[in-house]
Amino acid sequence: MKREVIRLFAYVLVPVMAVFNLPCSLLATTEKVVMEITHTPLVTVPAGQRIEIGAEIVDDAGVDEVRVYFKIPEVADYSFVSLKTDNGIMFTGMLPAPAQESKHFTYLILAVNGQQQVVRSQVFEVAVEADSNSVGQRPGRTMMTVYSELQRPPATVAGFADNLVVNGIDSATKYGTFAGLYSISTAGSFTGTAVPGGTVMASTEGLSTLVIAGSVIGAGIVIGAVAAGGSGSDGDGDNEEDTVVPCPFTGNWQGSYIKKSCDGTTSNGFWKGTVDDECSFSGFDSAGTLSGKIKPETGAVELTGKDDACGEISGTAQFDGNQVSGTWSGSELSAEFIGSR
């Protein structure tokens, strides 16, 4: 049976504001960036009590900000709290008290390093146990501030019963929107400068270490590298149909893009897509679609689709591990995108 022997992750980093009007062929010096996040996942918590949460985060470029985004499954939009640090490594904070009627909630960690690289963890699910002795429904405690990236922040946080104030934030710091946690239609656009770092998966057994490694590009270009290998072909051409290779990219994908549209405007946003068991990719955003059949041995895919404003489009993408990068173009339109599973 043929097996892949080597697969290097392709990390694709796009400093969004710097890339405007720069050709993709422009190359610059790179600086290595490595982030490690060590976190003990929450498993079960009592209702009516605030929850301590923390993570140890180390990055070559330093860590500028750490947030925990949380919500109950019944609602679409996250709220978040910021974690604080005394030593630049250990970040801690508090989540509000879950309501007695809540059964579960989910959360993820998002970190921004000194190069404005935005990295998010996988989503963790937490069970909530009712506590008849808890005062969570009528919290006799100090006021707690949580944040929302929605253009119209809610007055309360669904599923949580605490003494809360919900504040909105400036669009330049809507890193959750940049990472695809919110819909642009409800949160508005991210207007800051950031580098997509992707999603990193973590084990939920004991301590979990999440690692993202890549290069920050000084002049704002996309760089990706893929190397794959295996046993040699038995013939002198493609024998993909002769060898059954399971699709290693099945699942849900999301990420960000930067696009120069046919009307001359440049914009950035986020996208979502899926890869099925037969390695067929389909997705994109509310303004267009892209699809194609991924080669499971190499991760390469030819894309076709339609942009609602500019018409037919086509492009290419490279899937590698939990990362993807690609481009598409059409009549007076060009775009680059990156993403993760």
DSSP string, 15-48: -TTTTTT--TT----EEEEEEEEEE----EEETT
Find the DSSP H helices in the chain: 175-178, 184-187
* 34 in any annotated domain: yes
The total of structural domains in the chain comes to 2
Distances (CA, A) of 199 to 33, 203, 221: 15, 13, 20
Instruction: Give yes or no: residues 173 and 38 share one domain.
Output: yes
Domain that holds residue 138: 30-217
CATH number at residue 71: 2.60.40.10
Edge-to-edge strands of the sheet including 208-217?
84-85, 90-95, 51-59, 30-39, 208-217
Strand partners, 170: none
- Euclidean distance between CA atoms 221 and 310, whole angstroms: 24
Question: Residue 160 contacts by C-beta under 8 Å, 6 or more apart in sequence?
Answer: 72, 96, 97, 98, 99, 102, 105
Size (the chain), residues: 341
Instruction: Give yes or no: residues 95 and 187 share one domain.
Output: yes
Instruction: Give yes or no: residues 186 and 277 share one domain.
Output: no
| 8 A C-beta contact, residue 153 and residue 167 | yes
Count of beta carbons in the 10 Å neighbourhood of residue 303: 21
- Euclidean distance between CA atoms 299 and 249, whole angstroms: 8
| 8 A C-beta contact, residue 255 and residue 28 | no
| 8 A C-beta contact, residue 164 and residue 157 | yes
Report CA dihedral (143, 144, 147, 150) to the nearest 10 degrees.
Answer: -50
The SS3 of residue 125 is: strand
CATH number at residue 270: 2.40.160.90
* 311 in any annotated domain: yes
| 8 A C-beta contact, residue 149 and residue 187 | yes
Positive/negative CA dihedral, 167, 173, 179, 183: positive
Q: Write down the number of H helices and E strands in the chain.
A: 2, 22
SS3 content of the chain, % helix, strand, coil (to 5): 5, 45, 50
Please tell me what DSSP assigns to residue 177. H
* 231 in any annotated domain: no
Instruction: Please report, in tens digits, the pLDDT of each residue of the chain (341 residues total).
Output: 433 332 333 333 333 333 333 333 223 333 444 788 889 999 999 999 999 999 999 898 999 999 999 999 999 999 999 999 999 999 999 999 999 999 999 999 999 999 999 988 888 999 999 876 654 445 556 899 999 999 999 999 999 999 999 999 999 999 999 888 888 888 988 999 888 776 655 434 444 344 433 333 222 222 222 222 333 334 444 444 444 568 889 888 888 888 888 888 888 788 889 999 899 999 988 788 999 999 988 889 999 999 888 899 999 999 988 888 889 999 888 888 888 88
Distances (CA, A) of 324 to 13, 206, 314: 11, 29, 16
* 321 in any annotated domain: yes
- Euclidean distance between CA atoms 59 and 64, whole angstroms: 10
Instruction: Give yes or no: residues 154 and 279 share one domain.
Output: no
* 4 in any annotated domain: no
- Euclidean distance between CA atoms 224 and 325, whole angstroms: 7
* 229 in any annotated domain: no
* 137 in any annotated domain: yes
pLDDT of amino acid 121:
86
